[in-house]
Structure 1
């Protein structure tokens, strides 16, 4: 039921809100309520298997089961008495109905796209950022200059069955030859959509506006063509929002409507359904905008690793569709290599045993670690999945290619182009979400995984999503940002604490700086030694004044040797002082490395182990 939410007054009158995420394996429902003090809180949740497969082939069956669980737990009646799934609206003020129902979905593999452009490092890269920001998984990227022969391009397009194609190329008013050439390749290949052949595959054109009429006449016979604003109207500007919006719109109208039972889901929701990663990304942006900070986030799933950054107002999402913690765990091992996994383990394990354990996880993806060794192996693999995902993310979060820049004398000596515009010292918050990070047996484990995998620098807050609500809150924030932020603050984000990181290299055990932390009642002072990790127990809702004075060749975020003064938030872990240096390197010698890892784990009480203890 599409609602008319025209005025702020209508939005503020929302008393009971239902939000769901129809995932690829599980449908997750969450219920939010406006309390007597006017604040929104999370009150109940329900989960059920997603029903895309036979015999049901109807996502609303799983949806109904998840909502029923909320009904049983909360005492509210949310489903209407009918054979078809129907949600009672509005809330009656007592015990039945909701005022708003929103949903995200990644069932049936989510949104799968092909992007095509003219120049690989320019329009194709911009197209990738637009598609990823819209919540897509990119099946393949094609460009005129990618070196792939024409017949191979056509073969690729015929083999892949995307939900949509995004075509871009050329600046407005520039030459249209090359983008028309790419359109010709698409026309010749005539790829078919993933969900059957009963409808025309959507093609979004976001290139040179002069070429738009030719593109429409060339492709509209075989494809559903939608024209939007140019992604690169001039070389110096990247304009991805219009393309993202049109991708969302087409995803709803054309793609979702052909998946089993989605036409019923579309009729139930108050606002359009969003792809799950788009909901997650929207919440990351909402947090960054609300607090005026730079945010780095990771969604560590079973099959994929999503990395999000909101840096100086620029939002980028990347997805590593082959890196995950259950179905794709073997790919992490293959991509990272045994050596990179084993370096995080404080015990001996031979290569074949590691392969066996990872293989077991792949064939039984829902199992959880039964021993401390198993847990540490999963955490080592998680570090590498995030590291590799972030590496890929940085290749997208970079300055625009093809832009002419004024060069200074210093540039002549610094030929190397920066890998990314993200400066880790300027990241204010890292957010972790996904089963492994949300449900670590000890919160210290999640904090250390995030610090190690991202190689955090400077002064940065560490948080995790405790109840997998980021997608739900993201789609809710499109209607009611205040409600989404209040639930996030009170019921979703777990504040692990703050990391204070000394970047630089030195000799082992050498003093590299001094830290003083003052709360209302306590003062903590310590000399920071190179290679050491410290945890100061500053709890939740406690603020502390920090004075961090690094030695001349170390940096705590504002420059080498410069003192940092800041007010920090405590958390369930506390304030972690990281004197291990950056880049973070581990000893090659196995016994020395194991001893060091145990020392670090022990310093923050990450595992039930002591230095020198065998596992």
Structure 2
């Protein structure tokens, strides 16, 4: 079978973050797209006046040296399309998270009609509106103008009415927006996106095109909040706003001959796609821990919930001090360290977010703090129910703090300790930073996405079984036999295991092989949410085989530091390195 003539042979994906820019290379070889490699560089060199395109060039030059190929000419322009040999690229896609909150205001006639549809539309990006102006609230014009000006939006989305009515009510909303805009200078005025009837759109354009940047999209109330044209219009407005905020982003758009998408949207789209690949009615949870914010995406049966939380491992790391005691943060660090030193590390990291752990001690500090980022995210994103009712089927851990680890077991422990979900959960690690690539390239090159999604894009760490029981009421002591299980491989070979209480008990298995788990004996006071213990549980083994976490309904460390350090080391030793082979 010959390669289609219009199929891109070489594809570059750029992930432009707040601190680092990462470039990934895909090639079409032997009837399939393959991930070739990646490189990264500082996005802005710590200077807001520094063009992000310079960071893109630095990352691409590193990739060129690593692959011994050329993608840029001597003027730092992309060579498009690919030429004979090893020069050039056929297709480029990118996403960005280097922008601040676009500050989007919503205006609609009713809260349950047009405003609800606008909220649903905005939910695709994980953005919460800075203010909502509703005609049905009954506020006078001056009050609504004050609310709009105080919110200081950069984008205003206005919608309401059907194609055959309610124009007058929409015009009254437009009057509020017009008066608010006229009280500002041209540079301060927000960009306006109108999603109402076509007839009202013509009249609104006549007025607002003279006042500010104006765009029109099909009526959100007619087509629903997830219409592709409405979503595309929203993304276009957000892209234009980002180009105004970020120096060099417009330059990238022109040189790459493509438009990017917000990284939060790309991440959410990727997690949504993954929800089709697991068991029906189970949740996929993706968490991308960044420098300035953390993206939390939950999806079930293609139904996505996306949250962007102002908590990260860079400038926003000081938020941990506002939510947790220093003694609590200190307790999860596996060596002797003073509380003041923990505080100093957090403050230094907030000032210098591009600092990379230079030794095992600083790495342990960051991994301990990451556990608390996950705890805070779980609380803020309202994940308590899916973490306890067994509906969570898969956790995807993303971000440099979990990717750049010496042993993937450290990332698995971060997820187990920080989230501690009950039931049977498959943990995956984005080792190559490709989660957002899946979302960003899904529309640009769906063939590439289908190929890499079928090629183990993410590292399967293993399935973790966490039973629910009350430690205080359980009669079984720690270390004693807690439950009995049997593991059966494809050849029908059966091995039996006694799982102890209060442990992380690992059964090493052949990576990528299919197995069945039988529960032979479980105490009456113990339940495994979401698991039918009377039937075999099929699973594919990860690099840690299958893991049983029987530490109970709440993870508690001893009070004194010496015992805390011993307990953390004990748990890490129980999990062991990922290189262990099955016996």
TM-score range, shorter chain: 0.7 to 0.9
Which residue pairs with 2:469 in the alignment?
Answer: 504
CA contact 1:23–1:50 (8 Å) conserved in 2? yes
- Structure 1 residues 528, 310: closer, same or farther in 2, change over 3 A? same
1:362 to 350, 364, 369: 350
Describe the SS at the equivalent of 1:40.
strand
Checking the alignment, whether the CA contact within 8 Å between 2:99 and 2:242 is kept in structure 1 is no
Distance 1:422 1:241 in 2: 32
Equivalence for 1:601: 572
In structure 1, what is the equivalent of residue 81 of structure 2? 90
Quote the residue 1:389 is aligned against: 377
Q: Is residue 2:31 matched to residue 1:38?
A: yes
Aligned to 2:499: 528
Which deviations, in whole Å up to 9, do the C-alpha atoms of 1:236-286 show, x marking residues without a partner?
Answer: x86475543221122335642674333332233354311222222222233
Report the equivalent of 2:237. 250
CA shift, 1:98, in A, is 1.9
Once the two structures are TM-superposed, the CA of residue 326 in structure 1 deviates from its matched residue by 1.7
209 and 469 in structure 1: CA distance in 2 versus 1, 3 angstrom threshold: same
Q: Which residue of 1 aligns with 2:43?
A: 50
Name 1:398's counterpart in structure 2. none
1:415 corresponds to: none
Specify the alignment match of 2:527 in structure 1.
555
TM-score, with length taken from structure 1: 0.77
Offset from partner CA, 1:65-89 (integer Å, 9 cap, x none): 32222222222222234x3x43223
- 1:4-83 aligned within 5 A: 9-10=4-5, 13-35=7-29, 37-51=30-44, 57-81=50-74, 83=75
Q: Secondary structure at the match of 2:365?
A: helix
Question: Residue in 2 aligned with 1:277?
Answer: 264
Does 1:102 pair with 2:73? Answer: no
Q: Quick one: structure 1 residues 358 and 606, their matched pair in 2 at CA, closer, same or farther if it must change by over 3 Å?
A: farther
Question: Cα–Cα, structure 1 residues 218 and 581, in superposed 2: closer, same or farther, change >3 Å?
Answer: farther
SS of corresponding position for 2:439: helix
1: distance between equivalents of 2:487 and 2:226? 44
List alignment gaps of at least 5 residues for structure 2: 579-583
* More displaced stretch, 590-599 vs 140-149: 140-149
Q: Once the 2 structures are TM-superposed, how far is the Cα of residue 579 of structure 1 from its aligned partner?
A: 1.8
1:172–1:233 Cα contact (<8 Å) kept? yes
**Aligned partners of 2:117, 2:385: CA distance in 1, in Å?**
15
Aligned-partner Cα distance in 2 for 1:556–1:292: 17
Shift of 1:328: 0.9
Q: CA deviation at 1:164?
A: 1.9
* 1:580 positional shift: 2.6
List runs of 5+ in structure 1 lacking aligned partners.
1-7, 396-418, 608-615
* Residue of structure 2 equivalent to 1:311: 300
Tell me by how many angstroms 1:117 deviates: 5.9
One of 518, 537, 540 as aligned partner of 2:508 = 537
TM-score (norm 2): 0.81
Judged with a 3 Å threshold, the aligned counterparts in structure 2 of structure 1 residues 313 and 224 are, in CA distance, closer, same or farther, namely same
Across the two proteins, how many residue pairs are aligned to each other? Answer: 565
Q: Trace 1:308-387 onto structure 2 (pairs within 5 A).
A: 308-320=297-309, 322-338=310-326, 340-342=328-330, 344-345=332-333, 351-370=339-358, 372-387=360-375
- Calculate the aligned-residue CA RMSD, in Å: 4.2
- Residue 130 of structure 1 contacts residue 241 of structure 1 at CA under 8 Å; is this kept in 2? no
Structure 1 pair 68–585 and aligned structure 2 pair: CA distance change class (3 A): closer
Pair 1:170–1:305, CA change in 2 (3 A): farther
